[in-house]
Amino acid sequence: MRYTLSKPLILIFLFLGLYINSHAHQLKFSTTLIEYNKESNQIEFMFNLFMDDFLFSANKILPKEVDFLSPSKTEKRKVTKYFDTYFKIAVNGIFLDLKFEDIEVHTNYNAFRFKFSCDQIYIQEGDELFIENNLLFNEFGYKQTNMNVIRMLPFFEEKHYQATYQNSAQKLIIN
């Protein structure tokens, strides 16, 4: 038995497809703020990602139902595991472990802000900082761009690096 679609039905499906596509965001972008506090010897991290992109990317690590407003210890560990997998930072070749701090949910912007820190980090002039930001590249490839903003007072006020699918790592000598 063969089915044929009428012209009005074809037009409805066509417009429905265009409508759905027009409401999915096409921008594949994240920002990461890395800020060193010399007085407390702490590095703070803020990762800003679109909610739908993050959930799509983290679906293998996170459970289906996650309470992002007040995550459990298990959920915090799994979120940390996700970032440990796709974001690396090292000082003088020693990789740092991220410590979960908080999640902010910004529904008006379809965005999450994940906050982490690393304690007891002593940075001096001449030290080498290595950053590799592979967030969302597995899912979106060349479409994805990650902007890293690094603040390291008193060494420098602010530097910006763009992580792309082909070049996700940056080395920086602190001076």
Instruction: Indicate whether 7 pLDDT > 80.
Output: no
Element (H, E) at 83: helix 73-86
Is residue 11 a part of any domain in this protein? no
Reported as a single tens digit per residue, the pLDDT across 42-58 is 999 999 999 999 999 99
| CA–CA gap between residue 141 and residue 165 (Å, rounded) | 6
Instruction: Indicate whether 61 pLDDT > 90.
Output: no
Is residue 7 a part of any domain in this protein? no
Is residue 16 a part of any domain in this protein? no
Q: pLDDT value at position 22? A: 40
Is residue 32 a part of any domain in this protein? yes
Is residue 132 a part of any domain in this protein? yes
pTM attached to this predicted model: 0.83
Reported as a single tens digit per residue, the pLDDT across 93-106 is 999 999 999 999 99
Can you give the residue range of the structural domain that contains 137? 25-173
Measured CA distances, 114 to 33, 37, 69 (Å): 10, 18, 11
Is residue 105 a part of any domain in this protein? yes
Residues 55-71 have a mean pLDDT of: 86
Is residue 117 a part of any domain in this protein? yes
* Domain count along the chain: 1
Is residue 14 a part of any domain in this protein? no
Tell me the residue ranges of DSSP E strands in the chain.
28-37, 42-50, 87-91, 94-95, 99-106, 111-118, 128-133, 144-152, 156-164, 169-173
